[in-house]
Amino acid sequence: VIRCRAAVAWAPGKPLSVEEVEVAPPKAGEVRIKLVATGICRTDEHLLQGCFPNAEFPVIPGHEGAGIVESIGEGVTSMKPGDKVMPLCIPQCGECSFCQNPESNFCQKSHISEPQNLLPDKSSRFSCKGKQIHHFLWVSTFAEYTVVPEYAVAKIDAAAPLDKVCLFGCGFSTGYGAAINTAKVKPGSTCAVFGLGGVGLSVVMGCKAAGASRIIAVDINKDKFAKAKELGATDCINPRDLKKPIQEVLTEMTGQGVDYSFEAIGREDTMIAALASCNMSTGVCVMIGVLDSGSKISIDPMLLLTGRTWKGTSLGGWKTRECIPKLVSGYLEKKFNSDLLITHTLPFAKVNEGFELLRAGK
Ligand code: NAD
Ligand code: ZN
């Protein structure tokens, strides 16, 4: 058993508390990882507010981390102690029908199919003050050590800087892949990106890499525009500066609406606006943002009847164990610069300050 620090969410709506926890050794088919760095994603905030489906408290959040294998359980063959790895919030078991389908990345061992508050044998490897603590999406990266099933861990290049590539565990891969894999943005096309957090800015990078000729970035926080432009946005719009609804403005700007729109916020009104912003016939709208669990949206079916496509994406459509290491190699080959997404670097003890920065739009 390893004793180390972890940020525990004891109940919804409370700040995280950095505690000493016990992390049990990995069982068969599991890997214990020493985490080196983790990002903060809006999805962790949904969890802290009690709005993440099927989560259980107390829990160690975090799902965007990178680290080094500390020890392996019986039967683990694809990695060994000392390897650099990323825990994956969408596993790739390799055996289910979705893993075997080249069109899908949504492994049936993912959390929508089955809650991931406990490891597959239905027990937790974490405890604190004699209480069992739940895992989050099996990965729980807000801890110095975590235990994850082997099929939810990707081995990455030994040269990878873990404090930079941890973003590939969620935000960067999600946004970049939403453009490249889910929308399949074509060269010369027009795109609109709603929301310019870590995810939306990564969508901008993906649209640019795919050769889009116009990338319109939309956010109510104008402080996000400089970074969006640096990453490839051609226009930046604040819907609060407009007299007309954003979908009307985007349609006028592009003639019939954009070829591809992306919602990277997680709000009902912006999901509908993003859908209505892509052209009525061949337009594709990709939903990335997560609504509070239980929320519903209603749309006019005419929006789809004319031919539009409305899709969702999980982690940008990448088959995780296979593709995340390739993305890391692409980073090392300088094919894109995801370092531009990093706004702050804080020591672990200041994790609550990180959430305050997220809430403040910084
Ligand atoms: P973030 O909070 O960093 O960014 C959200 C951005 O949206 C902010 O810049 C904010 O100013 C802007 N915004 C808020 N309200 C707006 C409005 N009404 N109009 C325009 N802009 C508005 O969040 P993030 O970490 O980039 O995550 C974005 C969303 O993606 C979240 O809902 C998150 O849960 C979800 N997500 C989904 C996946 C997936 O696999 N589908 C993965 C990661 C994150
Ligand atoms: Zn995430």
Enumerate the domain spans of the chain: 2-169+319-360, 175-314
Phi, psi of 340 (to 5 degrees): -65, -15
Q: Is 270 near ligand 1, meaning CB less than 6 Å away?
A: yes
Q: What pLDDT does residue 294 have?
A: 79
Residue to substitute in 136, 196, 265, 318 for testing ligand 1 pocket (most ligand atoms within 8 angstroms of CB): 265
Tell me the pLDDT band of 189, cut-offs 50, 70 and 90.
very high
| 153-163 CB burial, b ≥16 within 10 A, e <16 | bbbbeeebebe
How far does the centroid of ligand 2 lie from the alpha carbon of residue 201, in Å? 14
Per-residue pLDDT reduced to its tens digit, 316-348: 999 999 999 999 999 999 999 999 999 999 999
- Distance separating alpha carbons of residues 112 and 243, to the nearest angstrom: 40
Tell me the pLDDT band of 204, cut-offs 50, 70 and 90.
very high
Q: Using the predicted structure, report yes or no on whether residue 46 has a pLDDT greater than 90.
A: yes
Which is the closest atom of ligand 1 to the Cα of 40? 25
Average pLDDT over residues 35-50: 94
Average pLDDT over residues 43-71: 95
Q: What pLDDT does residue 114 have?
A: 84
- Distance separating alpha carbons of residues 162 and 140, to the nearest angstrom: 16
| Nearest Cα residue to atom 20 of ligand 1 | 219
Q: Is 43 near ligand 1, meaning CB less than 6 Å away?
A: yes
How far does the centroid of ligand 2 lie from the alpha carbon of residue 307, in Å? 30
Q: What pLDDT does residue 112 have?
A: 83
Topology agreement, domain 2-169+319-360 and domain 175-314? no
Which is the closest atom of ligand 1 to the Cα of 199? 26
Q: Is 227 near ligand 1, meaning CB less than 6 Å away?
A: no
Q: What pLDDT does residue 54 have?
A: 87
Rounded to whole angstroms, what are the CA distances from 196 to 201, 222, 316, 358? 5, 10, 16, 12
CATH class, 175-314 region: alpha beta
Per-residue pLDDT reduced to its tens digit, 226-246: 999 999 999 999 999 999 999
How far does the centroid of ligand 2 lie from the alpha carbon of residue 171, in Å? 6
Q: Using the predicted structure, report yes or no on whether residue 78 has a pLDDT greater than 80.
A: yes
- Distance separating alpha carbons of residues 71 and 59, to the nearest angstrom: 23
Q: What pLDDT does residue 196 have?
A: 98
Average pLDDT over residues 86-95: 97
52 and 43 Cβ atoms separated by less than 8 Å: yes
Query: Model's pTM, two decimal places?
Result: 0.96
Per-residue pLDDT reduced to its tens digit, 107-123: 999 988 889 999 999 99
Q: Using the predicted structure, report yes or no on whether residue 293 has a pLDDT greater than 80.
A: no
Mean per-residue pLDDT of the chain = 96
Q: Is 207 near ligand 1, meaning CB less than 6 Å away?
A: no
In this structure, what is the dihedral angle of CA atoms 221, 234, 269, 42, given to the nearest 10 degrees? -60
Domain 2-169+319-360 CATH assignment equals 3.40.190.10: no
Which is the closest atom of ligand 1 to the Cα of 46? 34
Q: What pLDDT does residue 292 have?
A: 79
